[in-house]
Structure 1
Amino acid sequence: MNDSYLNFVNSPFGGGLVRSLGLPKPEVLRRYRADRPEFDGLIAIGAGREPRLLDALASLVASVGMTSVAHDSAALWVALANRRGLMTGRFEPAEAGSPGKLAALLFDASGIDDSSQLEPLHGFFHDTLRSLGKCGRIVVLGRPPEACASPRQWTAQRALEGLVRSLGKEARRGITANLVYIGQGAEGGAEATLRFFLSPRSAYVSGQVVRIAANGTIPHNAPAFDWRQPLAARRALVTGAARGIGAAIASVLAAEGAQVIGLDVPSARDALAATMRQLNSSALTFDIAAPEAPAQIAAALDELGVDIVVHNAGITKDKTIAKMSDAAWQGVIDINLSAQERIDDALLAGGILRDGGRIVAVSSISGIAGNPGQTNYATSKAGVIGRIESMAPHLRARGITINAVAPGFIETQMTAMLPFAIREAGRRMNSMSQGGQPVDVAQTIAWLAHPGSAGVTGQVVRVCGQSLIGA
């Protein structure tokens, strides 16, 4: 869907006009393209007291091939980079009024164990933020507060969330800011997550907090994967795949090397077949709300099994609850929530979802913040979050992760039908001042489905441009 305001303010005439009137000027976001480098430019490294994740950062910088510059707070980085043979230099702030030259800011806050030690965060971001270019990336690394050894350490690490979310709202210019808590012993399983948050794939993901657990680190005997096609030889089921966000998910997973099976209702048979044909993928048509659907889906997948299940199918039937019929309530709950439970039960009981697999469900910002006229929808999407949180511990023994994405305002045929005022409010009420694209949801799901994301489970990641509601 076309965002006329975004296009206008980024034209030569429109850009000058909005500056003179003091109107917001959303940035055209830099999204992943296969014909452009995924990682390039300078990355500034900062650190707090006794940083414990610099080795992991060194491995990441070496892997993606970026050039680092060390802030004064990260004196240890220079010696480490030299030992690793990495290109590094000293951070020099950009001159006033000049365009920012840095592509990313990384800060290792893992050693901060008291609120009195938070000052280096101010020093680093005070010095570097104005040198960060458009669509730059901010990533802060810490330790999970709930695993901290003392209340003071927990307090200091939890404080990082307020910092990161504020940075995302201050920086603007298409810049994202995210926090990654890396558990003790999970350092070797952090690269896929750090790559995602540093790359254009996370263009509409900001203000998020992700935890990486040690028991999900990639086993030494796990099959090797290619970073360019990490899902090669893996089979993925995507529900609601005929069009919109579902079609985008199927497309991105296929581009990552997965063998995709798209599923949709029989009435969408032609659209589904056309979408899957373009991806050289197969199609299944079932009404997932039907009682017999889980067994039918399991039977269709039984011969080869599946590695990734993406629950994207969903409907809306909006009315205030006083005017909502029983059928409208139950239909939304059944398709958006209960069908997911029944399908997963069938696939897990039959061993069709293989050990080490991935389940990713599509929730919504409405399931977090609620929405007038959507009590049924918000209930179903909050229930999806409950599924994720409750099932993660039970699936851990089989190496299966389960996570959810919660989209905000995404430019789709459905949002195009909203009244103008509501549509514009949805677009502007986030740190990016624009709606997201279906591909933004798809790229986030591809990261959660990645073999390197084994330590990320039981989590909900909002794809909302850091919405000002529910964020």
Structure 2
Amino acid sequence: MTDKYTQFVSRGLGRDIAKKLGLPQPVELRRYRPGQPLIEGPILVQGAGAGADELAAALLAWDLDVRRHAVPREKLGAIILVLDVAARPEDLERPVLTAAASLRDLASGGRVVTISRSAAEATDPAAAAARQGVDGLLRSLAKELRAGATGNGIVLADGARTTSPGTLGALRFFLSGRSAFVDGQFLTVTSDAGELPADPEKPLTGKVAAVTGAARGIGAAIARTLHRDGATVIVIDIPAAGDHLAAVANEVHGTALQLDITREDAGQRIIDHAVQRHGRLDIVVHNAGITRDKLLANMDQSRWSSVIGVNIAAQLRINEALLASEHFRTSPRIVSVASTSGIAGNRGQTNYAASKGGVMGMVRATAPLLAEHGGSINAVAPGFIETEMTAKIPFATREVARRLNSLQQGGRPGDVAEAIAFLASDAAGGISGEVLRVCGQNLVGA
């Protein structure tokens, strides 16, 4: 669905009217297009220590224009704030305030990325305070940025470096237009696992991916994005959606599997189809989901059980089959679609929020089970996304929902798909058990 308000206030007379009346002024976001530069303009890398130096050298190897010191009034494409050596809260002052002097030079659609260490792994209280302080710093800064700029963070666990594949993969994602609707979020890199793609434009070349709920909406966008990135795609949906499913399969030059994912043998049927038709299975995206909204006081057993059955119980059974299969052993990737409702809650959605909260718990607990095969599992939690479903929301409610995030607009199905495609790639191999919100930094909830 087109957000005509954003289009109107993004330029010319509409922009002038919005400014004079003090209305929200969302801008059209810088989204990924094949062949475009990773980032427009120089990248300022701020921070002391070997980690900052090594990262700057890695970015230079990507043929990027890297600065270690700001040039006054030079427009910047991105600011990377490397804080991995901060041992006390006082250590944040110099690099943060030095970077702050360059924030006004950040270009439209620019990026700010922090790189810090995990507070959970710190045993010294001062170090834990400094590391956790970066969380509050980055989330607040992201709310201050304007003109479509975003701020996100990368957290390094003890086994990760500033130049680990997962770190560089996450950094490339955050710098690019693929992360247009990801704002105020963190990804934790737990290890040196993973591998950067030979061709960043086709990071999924040679992979076979299965996507549930792929007949329309976000699921269809996921299938298209995985195909664009080089994967062979199996699209899965219920038989009633067969015509739409076939159309998507034809579009992405993949195969269609009509399947009710709540069947006991759904996991094995997905594996069998992948192996028989494509010889392997590398990626599974759990996108299928339903809503049956009702206040809890009016909730009946049918509404509750159907949502739990499709949204989480089916995923658990399919994952059990995947984990037991010899055909899902070579750096396997699972990505589940959760929701911000599972984080912050939503009136009338106790069943849906329970199911999506369950997805996030499942992801955390499953991560160690995939690690021995070099695999990973993560979740993406969308906020307000422009779909056929949200188009049916009453106008006033829809407009409020669109503006309740730092980017003051709704996301697109492709924004969710971009995050999933990254987490499904080998570049994200060192990232597992994470939940990445694609919500424009929604102002409600965590």
Smaller-chain TM-score bracket? over 0.9
Quote the residue 2:23 is aligned against: 23
User: 2:67 pairs with 43, 66, 69, which one?
Assistant: 69
Is residue 2:209 matched to residue 1:236?
A: yes
Q: Cα–Cα, structure 1 residues 246 and 224, in superposed 2: closer, same or farther, change >3 Å?
A: closer
2:177 aligns with: 200
Which residue identity does 2:170 align to in structure 1? Answer: T
Partner AA of 1:92 in structure 2: V
Structure 2 equivalent of residue 212 of structure 1: 189
Q: Matched residue of 2:297: which SS?
A: coil
Counterpart of 1:333, as a letter, is: I
SS at match of 2:113: strand
Is contact 1:51–1:109 with CA below 8 Å preserved after alignment? no
Confirm or deny: 8 A CA contact 1:363 1:385 kept in the other structure: yes
Gaps in structure 2 of 5+ consecutive residues: none
**How many residues align structurally?**
441
The TM-score with structure 2 as length reference comes to 0.95
2:111 to 126, 137, 142: 137
Deviations 1:356-388 (CA, angstroms, capped at 9, x unpaired)? 110000000000000000011000000000001
Query: 1:51, 1:108 within 8 Å by CA — same for their partners in 2?
Result: no
CA distance in 1, matches of 2:7, 2:225: 25
**TM-score normalised by L of structure 1:** 0.90
SS at match of 2:211: strand
The AA in structure 2 aligned to 1:265 is I
Structure-2 change in CA distance of 1:368 and 1:306 (3 Å): same
Residues 54 and 108, structure 1, Cα contact 8 Å, conserved in 2: no
1:164 to 134, 138, 143: 138
What whole-Å deviation, never above 9, does each CA across 1:189-208 have from its counterpart, x for those lacking one? 22111100011110000111
Q: Secondary structure at the match of 1:430?
A: coil
Gaps of 5+ in 1: 72-90, 95-99
Shift of residue 182, structure 1, vs aligned partner: 2.1
User: In the alignment, which residue of structure 2 is the partner of 1:408?
Assistant: 383
Contact 2:234 2:274 in 1 (8 A): no
Q: Is the 8 A contact 2:27 2:148 kept in 1?
A: yes
Alignment RMSD, CA only?
Answer: 1.6
After TM superposition, give the deviation of residue 288 of structure 1 in Å.
0.8
Q: Could you report, residue by residue, the CA deviation over 1:302-358 in whole angstroms, capped at 9, with x for unpaired residues?
A: 432310000000011111111122111100000000000111111221223233110
Alignment of 1:294-443 (within 5 A): 294-303=267-276, 304-443=279-418
Match of 2:155 among 169, 175, 181: 181
Q: Matches of 1:447 and 1:301 in 2, distance apart?
A: 21
Residue number in structure 1 paired with 2:3:
3
Give 1:61 shift. 3.4
Q: Secondary structure at the match of 1:356?
A: coil
SS in 2 for 1:361: strand
- Specify the code of the residue in structure 2 equivalent to 1:381: K
Letter in 1 for 2:126: R
Partners of 2:234 and 2:201 lie apart in 1 by 21
1:358–1:402 CA contact under 8 A, matched in 2? yes
CA contact (8 A) 2:46 2:52 kept: no
Which structure 2 residues correspond to residues 238-317 of structure 1 after superposition, within 5 A?
238-303=211-276, 304-317=279-292
Q: Is the 8 A contact 1:51 1:110 kept in 2?
A: no
Query: Measured at CA, do residues 35 and 52 of structure 1 come closer, stay the same or move farther in structure 2, by a change above 3 Å?
Result: closer
Query: Relative to 1, partners in 2 of residues 1:408 and 1:383: Cα closer, same or farther, differing over 3 Å?
Result: same
